[in-house]
Structure 1
Amino acid sequence: MMRGIILLMILVLGACSNEAVSNGPDMGEGKTLAKNLETPWMIEKTEKGFYISERGGTLKLVSDGEVTAQSLELDRETNASGEGGLLGFIVHPNDTETAFLYHTYSDDGEKNRVVEMKREGSAWSESGVIVEDIPGGTIHNGGRMDIGPDGHLYITTGDAGNGEYSQDTNSLAGKILKVALDGSIPEDNPFDNEVFSYGHRNPQGLAWDENGTLYATEHGPSGHDEINVIKPGANYGWPVVEGDEEEAGIETPLYHTGSDTWAPSGIAYDGETLYIAALRGSEVIAFDLSSNSASTFYDEGSRMRDVLVEDGRLYTITNNTDGRGDPSEDDDRLLELKMK
């Protein structure tokens, strides 16, 4: 493993107030917690260790240097073609024996669903449906989930390769969804369905700051990747506008990358900074919210899929085995980085 050396790289991004560049927080010594993972997608840390979802349809538990496969019993078989598969996995905030899982399945075409899972030993079994019939495809399946400060489950969905879905508030594709933990629709949802915000292309990261502001990362069509501040009922423009193009009734991104491509996936918030796992960008990016500036936090040349920050440590997973990277014999890996 490389020792942490801050690489000061100026990202020239032709975007709204995007010219300022800050030096990222100091990164300390890193270590590998797990290796030979298979296209890992999400990190979930619990008292038992780290659960890592793998896009091929498997779930691993990393604990005390051991990697243990978990048994998954789903009512619908996971379809792992293209960018679909087993994506998000998070444990219930009040019950470590319950979790939520996002996966792609086949039903007269590809679709996505979120289900409740119950654990017994190392086996997880489907115990209920939270949301299903989310349009899916070989690209743009979204898949990130998190529990908001309001106790609700937030879910990102992609446009499944069809931008028309994104502007249709009756479609669950190209959206950020909000549901209660039992799958019911909150009374304050803006469209009387699961939709919280719309006009998204392929959002893959969710994070809240201490004031309850929700940030999301989103893949652009060619460059023009975005960081957005998410508001209920707001339209984020895809496919009507991209980048900092403006049109009445459409939210402008907090930040976009201009012609550069990050392909941002998971994000985490800590101390006025968003940490962003970048696939095409092949690094973990530190985005300073006080100055709207980006810098490199960690760069070993790997595609990075997710990040998690806790107790002065940043955890991240490489994604070199997803068919678009150049994997080493140890890939993919779960890494722990000490933050100074």
Structure 2
Amino acid sequence: MASHPHTPARRRPPALTAAATAVALAAGLLGAAAGTGSATARSETTARSERGTGSGIDSVPSAIRTVSSGWTVPWGLSWLPDGSALLTERDSFKVFKLTQSGTRTQVGTVPNVVTTNGEGGLLGIAVSPNWNSDHYVYLMHSAASDNRIVRMTYDGSSLSGYKVLVTGIAKNKYHNGGRIKFGPDGYLYATTGDAQNSSLAQDRNSLNGKILRMTTDGKAAPGNPFGTLVYSLGHRNPQGITWDDQGRLWEAEFGNSTYDELNLIESGKNYGWPTCEGTCSTSGMTNPKRQWTVSEASPSAVAYADGALYMAALRGERLWRIPVSGTSAGTPVAYYTSTYGRLRTVEKLPGKNALWLSTTNADNNGGEPDGADKVFQVDLG
């Protein structure tokens, strides 16, 4: 199968200045195409007039500002109880603390990480939900022989210790998955790619092409459908997971050359790859709730805020907003198309109606030098 990791390297127009961004927002220039496969331009004003259609939603992106610059491929982001965040850099293997005022401090370098000269390296990060008592931080990274999930201790100033929890996740240059998050049930979830071996996604004995669910010690969580770490299967390269306000799990996934997907994940279900890419009629396969052509998306992280999912797109270079109502996903609308380049990670700020959004333009397909990446705050209003 063809790889479809990301778009080829190219130069982008420079990002708007703060003043120009404000003007563009006011003029509605940062709204973009609505729907799947649509090239119809829609302004911010039009988007606002459609807010809440069918779901009572009352927020869309309304302002954006730079929180921090000078990053090189920031990949994972997880919040600390004090409202600051821990971020990983994929290729430097470093972990930083970033405050909401923009102060950045390196807190450690994760040992035993290797680059795959593609999509692997230091990937996701998840702060323990019990951090005030255990001070644990969980990370997913590429190692010499595999991808793995590890645990370290963060004392508020630096990372220490290194305990391997899960090994044997096959790695490759591309398709390494890598997102880890704690769910509302207190268990740790991890996305794994098929490591460019599509047959692994359908193999229940493989950890690849799956969403994994585990205890804080890396063991299979109680209630997992097959008695193993595997929670769902048939995934190609998922890099985004989040939960809505009813505890439903949503996932964003790279397709091959036809469709990228937004899936509603349920225990034990098969999401089709490599038999299906996008919607299909094959018995036993679960169809996506939304799909996009690969040029519009190539999605990485996904976050939930105020009744909608926000999906960061790499090749698509846009932030998709998808309203959700129950188990249905409404009409997607895109923001910031080709304005800030490749968008990697999006997370809701704790206690605020806002998002943090990061770029990875300094990666191997972004065409920008080290230090070119930024972290933005997107206010929803």
Q: Shared fold by TM > 0.5? A: yes
- Measure the CA separation in 2 of the matches of 1:202 and 1:125: 30
Equivalent of 1:86, from 91, 100, 122? 122
Instruction: Give 1:26-105 correspondences, 5 Å limit.
Output: 26-46=60-80, 47=82, 49-56=84-91, 57-63=93-99, 64-74=101-111, 76-96=112-132, 97-105=135-143
The 10-residue stretch of structure 1 (38-47 or 236-245) with the greater mean CA deviation from structure 2: 38-47
Q: How many residues align?
A: 332
1:307 aligns with 2:346: yes
1:323 aligns with 2:347: no
- Measure the CA separation in 2 of the matches of 1:337 and 1:265: 17
- Measure the CA separation in 2 of the matches of 1:53 and 1:278: 19
Equivalent of 1:232, from 263, 267, 271? 267
- Measure the CA separation in 1 of the matches of 2:114 and 2:90: 9
Alignment gaps of 5+ in structure 2 = 1-17, 49-58
Alignment-derived partner of residue 13 in structure 1:
36
**Partners of 1:243 and 1:256 within 8 A in 2:** yes
The 10-residue stretch of structure 1 (77-86 or 160-169) with the greater mean CA deviation from structure 2: 77-86
The 10-residue stretch of structure 1 (112-121 or 271-280) with the greater mean CA deviation from structure 2: 112-121
1:273 aligns with 2:308: yes
- Measure the CA separation in 2 of the matches of 1:26 and 1:180: 35
Task: After TM superposition, give the deviation of residue 182 of structure 1 in Å.
Answer: 1.6
Provide, for residues 97-120 of structure 1, a one-character-per-residue CA deviation record: whole Å limited to 9, x for no partner. 21000000112xxx1000111124
**Partners of 1:202 and 1:219 within 8 A in 2:** yes
Q: Which amino acid aligns with 2:175?
A: H
Alignment-derived partner of residue 292 in structure 1:
330
Higher helix share: 2
Q: Which amino acid aligns with 1:171?
A: S
Q: Secondary structure at the match of 1:36?
A: strand
Q: Secondary structure at the match of 1:293?
A: coil
- Measure the CA separation in 2 of the matches of 1:329 and 1:174: 30
The 10-residue stretch of structure 1 (182-191 or 196-205) with the greater mean CA deviation from structure 2: 182-191
Change (3 A) 1:185 1:328: closer
Alignment gaps of 5+ in structure 1 = none
Identity %: 34
Task: After TM superposition, give the deviation of residue 259 of structure 1 in Å.
Answer: 6.1
1:132 aligns with 2:181: no
- So what's the TM-score if we normalise by structure 2? 0.82
- Measure the CA separation in 2 of the matches of 1:297 and 1:259: 17
Task: After TM superposition, give the deviation of residue 73 of structure 1 in Å.
Answer: 4.7
Provide, for residues 312-338 of structure 1, a one-character-per-residue CA deviation record: whole Å limited to 9, x for no partner. 111100110012124378620011122
- Measure the CA separation in 1 of the matches of 2:74 and 2:305: 23
- Measure the CA separation in 1 of the matches of 2:65 and 2:37: 35
Change (3 A) 1:122 1:211: same
**Partners of 2:362 and 2:370 within 8 A in 1:** no
- Measure the CA separation in 1 of the matches of 2:370 and 2:168: 38
Higher strand share: 1
- Measure the CA separation in 1 of the matches of 2:117 and 2:188: 26
- Measure the CA separation in 1 of the matches of 2:31 and 2:137: 39
Change (3 A) 1:101 1:237: same
Provide, for residues 85-104 of structure 1, a one-character-per-residue CA deviation record: whole Å limited to 9, x for no partner. 00001110111521000000
- Measure the CA separation in 2 of the matches of 1:179 and 1:100: 12
